[in-house]
Amino acid sequence: MKIRDVFLSISYFLNKVEPLKIFFSKAISITKKYSRRSLPYLFMMPFFAYIMLTWIGPVVITIILSFTKTQWTITNMRFIGLKNFEKIFTRDIFAFDAFKVTALYVSTVIIINAFFSLILAIFTTYFIKNETIASGIRLLWLVPRITPAVIYAVLWRWFVDPDIGMLNRLLSLFGLPAPSDWRLTAPYSQILMILINGYVGASFGMIIYSAAITSIPRELFYAASVDGASDWQIIRRIILPLLKWPVFFVTSWQTLSLLSSYEHILAFWGEAGTARAAEVEVWALYSYTKAFYDDEYGYGAALSVFLVIIGMFFIVIFFKIFGFRRMMQPSRVEV
Amino acid sequence: MNSKSIYRSKIRKYRIKKALTMLFVYSVLLIPLIPILLMLGWLFAQSFSEGPTNTVIPRGFTLENFKFLWARIRFGLSEYPTIWPLVMNSLIIAIATVAFEVPIAALAGYSLSRMEFKGRTETMRLIIALHAFPGVILLIALFYILNRMGLYGKGLLTLLGVALIKAGLSVPMDTWILKGFFDGIPWELEWAALVDGASRFKAWRKVLLPIIAPGISAIAIFSFMSGWGEFLLAYTYVKRKELYPLSVFLYSVLGEFVFVDWGLLAAITLFYIAPILLFYALTQKTLLKLQLVGAVKG
């Protein structure tokens, strides 16, 4: 557009000279034609450049780094082939621990994220008829997700603190045993890890499911209950079958994001050694620790390559199963 | 008479059953929320308390904890002259995130919504794929890029680097959301502008952008808040104490667990979370809607 303006202004001053006039009118029509085809790319240019910088580039660099020994500073690279991977599979006990913790973490938190959230959604949409109350409860469930990770960690640190926290007081109120250190002793710290991340993850599924349930025509429920169906039968025979795809979607989506999420664990347990001692060091956190605490960037990258591959695998599944068309509405140019 | 009483008892039975169901429903929905509500209640109570409190009732009442707003802060071994440089650091990250994110997403969203070009469908596929792909596992490679760009360890530039990456990781989704907003505008409006002699760029800037201003501002508020709350990237890439944003500062305070001054900690936390709570109260409807398309990943 800029180029054309320049041409226009020049041609304005020079249009008395006949040959130049012809030349410029031709130039303008060429830029017009050219710009019609290139204009979309001009609009998209910053986006593509940015995507290259923050997504495509890093994926490639992660893979390259994983074949190197990069220690102390990240620019100090030495190509060592597959040695990093060899070490992960044969000599690294921490990697195996991280693998076990990750398996525990994903398989338990996914129950909250994909199935407890289903209960939340059904209860707030089907049973609670008052829309204000329902969305109020949904908003409350969003609080852990909206709260920045560090503040969320501060709140939990107080809540489970053995001296001034409230959790142990509540437990002893009900006559339950109160562990002296929730944060650092193994089974309790793992329960804590599941709870902390479960609260954050529950709202995602809840909102997706709620939208799906609200789109079911209410008449179906009325008709069923006139025919004598109980609430449970309506849920079992009408709502759940219609939610098959959303449940599958949320489950796979959340599995992928759980595999790679460690921000809350890092914020709550802090320094690398603490998370490892408390046995809550998931694979992604282990990769992070290796790179940014031990300054072994190459090895950290090799660990995260596994997650990159899993991520790509999941994306292929998303496209194959859910289909591209179903994931997006038609755009302006298509209607 | 008899049939009437049977009818009544049936109604009563139905009502009891209904009440029990609702009791069950509400307890499943609300009981798990009790810890979260207690924590938030404690936060308010503790920040006005004289000593550490283990309930949601403040112990005494004092504004002493908020002294950090003008006096120097002392936490264990570390000491900060005032809090305002830290607030500035958080603000720089938040504002820069918006500045990187919104214009790029608005341009690309427009182009994807209203222009036919080769690779358009592929680009949209790419956006969906990137949204699903977990960006946080790329932190090591992004660190390499920051280093190569000379944005690491260079004072304030480091904060811009954090914002650059923060924005980059959420640009695909923002583009997607804004494309949705552009899709909602009828062609006729743009045609009118084009017939009047405007270029596509001018039509975008003068006609379409004002119409989707609500969408733009929603995106801007969201990215501002996520920049304000950013922890992981700042913690990873910002190593100098005077460049810490509030999140990293709070985290480092938590690390010094020997001398935890709970009152001060709660007061600073409350100060930090206040803008988020405020925005939260103001934009509930948009919040739920944007959550649906996945504006906040998780």
Which CATH number fits the domain that encloses residue A298?
A: 1.10.3720.10
Number of structural domains (chain A) is: 2
pLDDT at A5 over 80: no
Q: How near does any CA of chain A get to the CA of B138, in Å?
A: 6
Write the DSSP assignment of A202-261 as a string of letters: HHHHHHHHHHHHHTS-HHHHHHHHHTT--HHHHIIIIIHHHTHHHHHHHHHHHHHHHHT-
What percent of chain A is predicted at pLDDT more than 70? 85
A286-303: per-residue pLDDT in tens? Answer: 999 988 888 889 899 999
Q: Are A88 and A302 in contact (CB under 8 A)?
A: yes
Chain A positions touching B201 (Cβ under 8 A) are 1
In a domain, B194, yes or no: yes
B219/B283 Cα distance (integer angstroms)? 12
Length of chain B in terms of residues written: 298
Q: Is B258 on the interface with A (CB under 8 A)?
A: no
Is B98 within 8 Å of B227 (Cβ atoms)? yes
Comparing A31-35, A64-68, B4-8, B198-202, which segment has the lowest mean pLDDT?
A: A31-35
Among the listed ranges A58-62, A271-275, B92-96, B141-145, which one has the minimum average pLDDT value? A271-275
Query: Residues 49 to 78 of B: which have CB under 8 A from any A CB?
Result: 52-55
Render pLDDT for A70-95 as a digit per residue (tens, 0 to 9).
888 777 788 888 888 888 888 888 88
Whole-angstrom Cα distance, residue B150 to residue A112? 43
> Which chain B residues are Cβ-neighbours of A260 within 8 angstroms?
134, 136-137
Q: What are phi and psi of B239, to 5 degrees?
A: -110, -15
Residue pLDDT, tens place only, B31-74: 999 999 999 999 989 888 887 887 778 888 888 888 888 877 77
Percentage of chain A beyond pLDDT 90 is 32
Question: Quick one: pLDDT at residue B297?
Answer: 44
Overall average pLDDT of the A13-26 stretch: 57
Q: Is residue B277 part of a domain?
A: yes
- Partners of B57 on chain A (C-beta within 8 Å) are none
Cross-chain CB nearest to B140 (options A51, A204, A297): A297
Across the interface, whether the CB atoms of A332 and B182 are under 8 A apart is answered: yes
- Say if CB B62 and CB B50 are below 8 A apart: yes
| Assigned domain for A63 exists | no
- Whether the pLDDT of residue A9 is over 70: the answer is no
Model confidence at A109, pLDDT cuts 50, 70, 90, reads very high
Residue B140 and residue A304 in contact, taking contact as beta carbons nearer than 8 Å: yes
Number of domains chain B contains? 2
Residue A29 lies in a domain: yes
With a cut of 60, say whether residue A260 has pLDDT above it: yes
CA distances from B275 to A42, B87, B235 (A): 37, 12, 21
Instruction: Report the alpha-carbon distance of residue A48 to residue A69 in Å, rounded.
Output: 31
A163 contact residues in B (CB cutoff 8 A): 54
> Are A91 and A42 in a shared domain?
no
Average pLDDT over residues B149-161: 84
B13-24 as b/e: b if 16+ CB within 10 A: eeeeeeeeeeee
Q: Is residue B71 part of a domain?
A: no
Q: How confident is the model at residue A24 (pLDDT cuts 50, 70, 90)?
A: low
Are A151 and B35 within 8 A, CB to CB? Answer: no
A280-287: average pLDDT: 91
Cα–Cα dist B262/B269, whole Å = 10
Residues with Cβ within 8 Å of B91's Cβ and at least 6 positions away in sequence, in order, are B228
CA atoms of A115 and A205, how far apart (whole Å): 8
B252 & B128 share domain: yes
Residue A198 pLDDT class (50, 70, 90 cuts): very high
Q: How many other CB atoms sit within 10 Å of the CB of residue A185? A: 14
In order, the DSSP letters of B44-104 are HHHHT-SS--SSSS-SS--SGGGGGGTS-EEETTEEES-SHHHHHHHHHHHHHHHHHHHHH
A158 and A99 fall within a common domain: yes
Cα radius of gyration (chain B) = 26
B68: in domain: no
Q: Indicate yes or no: CB of B141 within 8 angstroms of CB of A141.
A: no
Q: Which residue has the higher pLDDT, A334 or B79?
A: B79
Which residues on adjacent β-strands are paired with residue A296? Answer: A71
Q: Is B198 on the interface with A (CB under 8 A)?
A: no
- B199 and B147 fall within a common domain: yes
The answer to whether B209 and B216 have CB atoms below 8 angstroms apart is: yes
Select the highest-mean-pLDDT range: A111-120, A263-272, A292-301, B180-189.
A111-120
Residues B13 and B124 in one domain: no
Which two tokens mark A282?
A: 């998931």
The verdict on B297 touching A (C-beta cutoff 8 Å) is yes
pLDDT surpasses 90 at A199: yes
Q: Using CB atoms, which residue from B33, B46, B145 is nearest to A58?
A: B145
For residue A75, tell me if it sits in a domain.
no
Beta-carbon count within 10 A of B281 CB: 10
Please answer yes or no on whether A43 and B130 come within 8 Å at the CB atom.
no
Residues of A in contact with B183 (CB under 8 A): 329-332
Question: What's the mean pLDDT when you consider all of chain A?
Answer: 84
Residue B156 has what pLDDT? 84
CB nearest A199 (choices: B36, B136, B254): B36
Which of A59, A206, A331 to probe the B interface (max B CBs under 10 A)?
A331
- The reply to whether B198 and B225 lie within a common domain is yes
pLDDT digits (tens, 9 = 90+) for B182-222: 888 888 888 888 888 888 888 888 888 888 888 888 888 88
What percent of chain A is helix, strand and coil (3-state, nearest 5)? 80, 0, 20
CA nearest neighbour of B177 among B284, B95, B295:
B295
For A117, name the nearest residue in chain B, comparing CA atoms only: B29
Measured distance CA(A301)–CA(A67) in Å, rounded: 9
Supply the pLDDT for residue B296.
43
B298 located within any domain:
no
User: Which residues have C-beta within 8 Å of that of residue B103, sequence separation ≥ 6?
Assistant: A46
**Same domain for A20 and A166:** no
CA angle A127, A128, A131 (to 5 degrees): 140
Nearest to B107 among A43, A200, A270 (CB): A43
pLDDT in tens, B79-135: 777 888 899 999 999 999 999 999 999 999 999 888 888 888 888 888 888 888 888
pLDDT of residue B189: 83
Q: Are residues B9 and B106 in the same domain?
A: no
Under 8 Å CB pairs connecting chains A and B tally to: 291
Residue A55 falls within a domain, yes or no?
no
Task: Give the pLDDT of residue A82.
Answer: 85
Domain residues for the domain of A220 are 83-334
Domain residue limits at B55: 2-62
Longest dimension (CA), chain A: 100
Q: Do residue A90 and residue A2 come from a single domain?
A: no
User: Do both B278 and B233 map to the same domain?
Assistant: yes
Pair (A90, A44) in one structural domain: no
Q: Is A293 domain-assigned?
A: yes
- For residues A40 and A48, give the distance between their C-alpha atoms in angstroms, rounded to a whole number: 12
In this structure, which amino acid lies at residue A226?
V
| Under 8 Å between Cβ of A314 and A249 | no
Residue type at position A329? Q
